Amino acid sequence: MLAERMNSLTPYVPGEQPRDRSYVKLNTNENPYPPTPKIAEYLSRFDPEVLRLYPDPASLKLRQAIAEAEGVTADNVFAANGSDELLAFAFYAFFDGERGSLNFPEFTYTFYPVYCDLHGIPFQKIPMKKDFAINLEGFLDNPGCGSVFPNPNAPTGMALSRSRIRDLLKAYPADRVVIVDEAYIDFGAESAAPLIEEFGNLLIARTFSKGGSLAGLRLGYALGQSQLIEALTTVKDSFNSYPVDTLAQNLGVLAVQDAAYYTDINRRICDTRDLFMKDLKRQGWEVLPSLSNFVFTRKAGLSGEDIYLALREKGFLVRYFRHGGIEDFVRITIGMPEDMQALAGAMAGLEGKR
């Protein structure tokens, strides 16, 4: 019954959305604060009549609002139904096996290999540095058909500076696309966006899901020179002309235009993160330096699964990974200050058995 190509698919497994009891949910990097109050106000007087018509296929008002905020023009902006969709389009548009493998870090967002399987793109995992930083030199050793990495990286939370990314781009073949996935750019790291003017092969992926507190809306966008944006539009229009619905376009504009609100809540998250990291370190946890809304931590003698299970018992949901090399870590989303304080208390009681 199934097409042959189904045999090569291994779908992405998102963090669990449990229903058995209530948890402090710190496993999928959602924002603990509500989206801008402008959205609640808009929805309270929303007229469903606007849903009778198809959305603007080009998402022009949203792209213009983003362009204005970023100091570019709308033809440098592509809007998508979540950055996952935009990554799927970008992989299709820019990468193929003819020019070699797609490079991404050994420990990174696990959707990348899934899209490679979907589109039949061979890939190569570039080993991390000893301290779990992304090894950009490794990306240059064999540029392949292109590269993708998050900055800050997930699940480590560690960031690269803009000048390091610029060095990579200067040495990288100009006809191969480099995607910098900035899903976590609102938590203190330097964006590569100012480099778009200089490098025609740089595509930046952004989402409203983390910093924008709109994971349920499914809205993401790309920034790049117009030839890259045009290619993404060609893929979009070969798949679904209207991926971004009217509500998402309108709410996205409101979110982009309330930068002050988001600066405030995301600064709070950074403050909570820094306190939480300090607490954990004081208790003997190893914590990787994070510029994201999560921390990646471990303690000698405990596996990631041990920690996950013990914290689940205490009502906290965190995430662990089975990949060799990071199986003793857990990734913990930064929530409300009081929740993180309670969690630090719960983690103080965890001691290694081995």
* Out of 30, 70, 84, 328, the residue judged to bind ligand PLP by CB under 6 A: 84
Whichever of 204 and 350 has its CB closer to ligand PLP, that residue is: 204
Residue among 275, 320, 290, 315 nearest 302 (CA) = 320
Question: Interface with ligand PLP includes 295 (CB under 6 A)?
Answer: no
Question: Interface with ligand PLP includes 82 (CB under 6 A)?
Answer: yes
DSSP code of residue 33: S
* Out of 32, 138, 220, 335, the residue judged to bind ligand PLP by CB under 6 A: 220
Bridge-partner residues for 341, per DSSP?
A: none
Q: Which stretch binds ligand PLP (CB under 6 A): 9-17, 79-87, 193-201, 313-321?
A: 79-87
Residue 86 to residue 106: CA distance in whole angstroms: 22
Q: Which stretch binds ligand PLP (CB under 6 A): 1-9, 82-90, 250-258, 316-324?
A: 82-90
Helix (H) or strand (E) holding 98: none
Collect all residues with Cβ–Cβ distance below 8 Å to 60 and sequence separation of at least 6: 74
Residues 184-213, interacting with ligand PLP (CB under 6 A): 207, 209
Whichever of 190 and 348 has its CB closer to ligand PLP, that residue is: 190
Whichever of 272 and 293 has its CB closer to ligand PLP, that residue is: 293
Question: Interface with ligand PLP includes 288 (CB under 6 A)?
Answer: no
Backbone angles phi, psi at 103, to 5 degrees: -95, 135
CB of 137 to ligand PLP, least distance (A): 22
Cα radius of gyration rounded to whole Å, the chain: 20
Residue 198 to residue 261: CA distance in whole angstroms: 31
Whichever of 121 and 179 has its CB closer to ligand PLP, that residue is: 179
CB of 350 to ligand PLP, least distance (A): 26
CB of 249 to ligand PLP, least distance (A): 15
Cis peptide before 243 (omega within 30 of 0): no
Dmax of the chain from CA atoms?
A: 63
* Out of 39, 154, 165, 203, the residue judged to bind ligand PLP by CB under 6 A: 154
Q: Which stretch binds ligand PLP (CB under 6 A): 78-86, 157-165, 239-247, 275-283?
A: 78-86
CB of 331 to ligand PLP, least distance (A): 10
Collect all residues with Cβ–Cβ distance below 8 Å to 77 and sequence separation of at least 6: 63, 66, 67, 70, 221, 222, 223, 229
Residues 88-147, interacting with ligand PLP (CB under 6 A): 109
CB of 215 to ligand PLP, least distance (A): 6
Q: Is the C-alpha dihedral spanning 308, 181, 79, 88 positive or negative?
A: negative
The total of other beta-carbon atoms located within 10 Å of residue 351's CB is: 11
Residue among 342, 338, 330 nearest 157 (CA) = 330
Which stretches of the chain bind ligand PLP, using CB under 6 A?
82-84, 109, 150, 154, 181, 183, 207, 209, 215, 220
